Structure 1
Amino acid sequence: MTTKSMEELEHFKRKSQHTAIALLKDPHTQKVGQSILECAERVCLTYRDQLNPAVRTYYCHQRQCPNCQERRSQKICSEMHQMFDQHPALAQQQWLYLTLTVRNCAIWNLRETLLEMTQAYQRMTKRTFFQENVIGAIRFTEVNAGQSEPNTAHPHFHCLLLVRPSMYSGNNYVSQQRWTEAWQSALQEPYAPKVHVQRISGSSEDVRRQVVGLAGYSSKARADEPDDQWLVAITQELKNLNLMQTSGLLQTMRSQLSDYNVFEDSGWPAHGQPEVSSVFAWDGYTYKNYSM
């Protein structure tokens, strides 16, 4: 593990500790909070070679854990790289990055709002313009704290779309205004929601870099630090919801990926595994080096 990697782990461990303390205050989320608090308490480095030590620790895998969410983001980026490796033609095809929003909702209405958004998205995917132009899609759900009003949430979808070239010309051209109208119609709302459309272009290397980067951005750990009440409510509202979905050709490609998992180094080394070179223990603020 490099110094930079250790610094990143410490950064997310501090954020996870902040989240855990907030969740421990409420009886409905104490179990989740305790699990997050125990996440990556000790980090073990086993040296397969001098330059690339393997990192082993216990990860809680809780959705609200910033440390584990960062690991999920890394896993998604790894999967996207695998897809480009196995299907190089993806880098020559057309991609869109679509962000779909709704008005902020009360945190205790988040689950209902997300279900309504999911239904709206499914309605939109059945429209003729979508079925004729979109070959595959990956949809990420992100929820931020509302900025203007307390106790509100800002749910939105980030969508990576693999599209046909015809979507950019002639009668099949879909402008941002048309996307906005389609999303408003699918939502069945009187207001025009904010929609952002970004065309991904450049060389094959640029396209791959942008697509992988946007997948990581869409699944990133939360950057803000909401108040305790917000975290407690959001933890309950998001319980058991699927926040990432694939469809079409991208779903087929993703299902064919190898079993590589960025969490493969989770867990404490068992007897007989490579010699442990160093062990770091969390002291509440930083990792300190201890001998095994």
Structure 2
Amino acid sequence: MYVNNNKDIRKNQMEVLTDKTQKGEERPWRENKLKTLSLAKSYERIGNTRKADRVKNCSSQLIYKKDKNTGIKKLHSMISCQVRLCPMCAWRRSLKIFGQTSKIMDKALENKEYRFIFLTLTCRNVEGKELSKIIDNLFYAFKKMMLKTKVKQIVKGWFRALEVTHNLDKKSKDYNTYHPHFHVILMVNKSYFTDTKQYLSQKDWTSLWKDCLRVDYMPIVNIKAFKTNTKKEVEKSVAESAKYTVKDNDYLIVNDEKMTDETVSILDGALANRRLVAFGGELKKIHKSLNLSDIEKASVNTDSDDDVVLRDDVNYVFEVYNWNIGYNNGQYLKVKEIDKKEN
């Protein structure tokens, strides 16, 4: 059962959250919480009060499970809004995507019969009013390309993630336009690189993508080997593909509420009800064999086991932190500590 440890709550309220990765890097809880409040204000201004309330309350309380002997702690639960553009949920979701993709790649790399390539599929920048329609076309084109006979013969599995960038360079001819594109990992037979009947050059991939995209220009397609010599190389390669769908500084524009609201409205509509990240073929089978949760629906409310591991038999306490906007321009402060007592 759980019992209060009777510590001085007023003293605890002045204890600011400290949460670091295994590498000693401070996790960006405060920065992301401040960004969620900025997004909530934007939703309020454009009249979406439902999402404004959800985002405003997101991550307002964090509960940690801490080992009393070592001081190591792990996020036990949090309040989350699950709004697509929420900076806090996007950060937490990106950790889940990276974690799942890394596990799948580690398993896939055990089979020496396969190699991996990294593919970036793009289209021209588009105006905000066209973004949703163009993203529809991108998904259609990707599905069509994966069904091409030549591609089906060589691609045994795939991972794809959509990214959308917003051009905010006022000197650019594409200022205030959007660039949706796919980051893709392809699983191919090891003979792919030596068998001329299987190998597709960058020119071949570009031609295929242009045909599937049904455009009258030559889209930019980038293809390169997925480096797998060391674990660090694999992690770097995974990180290149498992990116944020859209970075918060592309829609939370400093000192420009009008453009912020316009961008939030456009992206909120264009990204709604889409499967932005997906696995196919052998990589999807591995995902299932590892009993991983649906990557689009995976909970962001706890740390993954790769972040921190706490045994169930250790003595631990629960630490409760609440967001306090009135303390030092916003901080997470500890308000309660609860001991776990063995029955």
One fold, TM greater than 0.5? yes
Deviations 1:131-151 (A, max 9, x none): 111111111111111344455
Secondary structure of 1:171's counterpart equals: coil
Instruction: Give the stretch that moved more between structures: 234-243 or 218-227.
Output: 218-227
CA distance in 2, matches of 1:40, 1:143: 25
- Residue of structure 1 in register with 2:227 after alignment: 201
* Cα gap change, 1:175 to 1:218, in 2 (>3 Å): farther
CA distance in 2, matches of 1:152, 1:83: 35
Secondary structure of 1:105's counterpart equals: coil
CA distance in 2, matches of 1:91, 1:71: 32
CA distance in 2, matches of 1:210, 1:91: 20
Deviations 1:20-59 (A, max 9, x none): 22122112x3322221111111223332443321223201
* Cα gap change, 1:282 to 1:96, in 2 (>3 Å): farther
* Cα gap change, 1:71 to 1:86, in 2 (>3 Å): same
Which amino acid is 1:2 matched to?
D
Q: Shift of residue 216 of structure 1?
A: 3.0
Deviations 1:111-131 (A, max 9, x none): 211111111112211223211
* Cα gap change, 1:290 to 1:200, in 2 (>3 Å): closer
Identity of aligned residues (%): 21
Give the alignment of 1:120-131 within 5 angstroms: 120-131=141-152
1:235 aligns with 2:268: yes
Secondary structure of 1:115's counterpart equals: helix
CA distance in 1, matches of 2:78, 2:112: 35
Instruction: Give the stretch that moved more between structures: 130-139 or 140-149.
Output: 140-149
1:247 aligns with 2:266: no
Secondary structure of 1:291's counterpart equals: strand
Q: Shift of residue 191 of structure 1?
A: 0.4
- Residue of structure 1 in register with 2:333 after alignment: 289
1:2 pairs, out of 19, 31, 50, with: 19
Q: Shift of residue 74 of structure 1?
A: 0.9
CA distance in 1, matches of 2:150, 2:126: 29
CA distance in 2, matches of 1:163, 1:252: 15
Instruction: Give the stretch that moved more between structures: 256-265 or 176-185.
Output: 256-265
* Cα gap change, 1:117 to 1:277, in 2 (>3 Å): closer
- Residue of structure 1 in register with 2:310 after alignment: none
* Cα gap change, 1:114 to 1:70, in 2 (>3 Å): same
- Residue of structure 1 in register with 2:302 after alignment: 265
* Cα gap change, 1:93 to 1:17, in 2 (>3 Å): farther
Q: Shift of residue 250 of structure 1?
A: 0.7
CA distance in 2, matches of 1:207, 1:281: 37
Q: Which runs of 5+ in 2 are unaligned?
A: 1-17, 254-259, 304-315, 337-343
* Cα gap change, 1:87 to 1:234, in 2 (>3 Å): closer
1:42 aligns with 2:61: yes
- Structure with bigger helix share is 1
TM-score (ref. length: structure 2): 0.74
CA distance in 2, matches of 1:5, 1:43: 19
CA distance in 2, matches of 1:141, 1:21: 26
8 Å Cα contact 2:227-2:234 kept in structure 1: no
* Cα gap change, 1:111 to 1:75, in 2 (>3 Å): same
Which amino acid is 2:99 matched to?
S
- Residue of structure 2 in register with 1:163 after alignment: 188
Secondary structure of 1:203's counterpart equals: coil
Instruction: Give the stretch that moved more between structures: 185-194 or 218-227.
Output: 218-227
- Residue of structure 2 in register with 1:276 after alignment: 318
* Cα gap change, 1:282 to 1:207, in 2 (>3 Å): same
* Cα gap change, 1:192 to 1:88, in 2 (>3 Å): closer
Report the structure number with the largest CA radius of gyration. Answer: 2
- Residue of structure 1 in register with 2:41 after alignment: 21
- Residue of structure 2 in register with 1:183 after alignment: 209
* Cα gap change, 1:86 to 1:262, in 2 (>3 Å): farther
8 Å Cα contact 1:67-1:221 kept in structure 2: no
8 Å Cα contact 1:91-1:208 kept in structure 2: no
CA distance in 1, matches of 2:262, 2:241: 29
Q: Shift of residue 204 of structure 1?
A: 4.6
Report how many aligned residue pairs link the two structures: 285
Secondary structure of 2:179's counterpart equals: strand
* Cα gap change, 1:166 to 1:220, in 2 (>3 Å): farther
CA distance in 2, matches of 1:176, 1:39: 44
Q: Which runs of 5+ in 1 are unaligned?
A: 267-273
Deviations 1:131-177 (A, max 9, x none): 11111111111111134445532111111111122332323222212
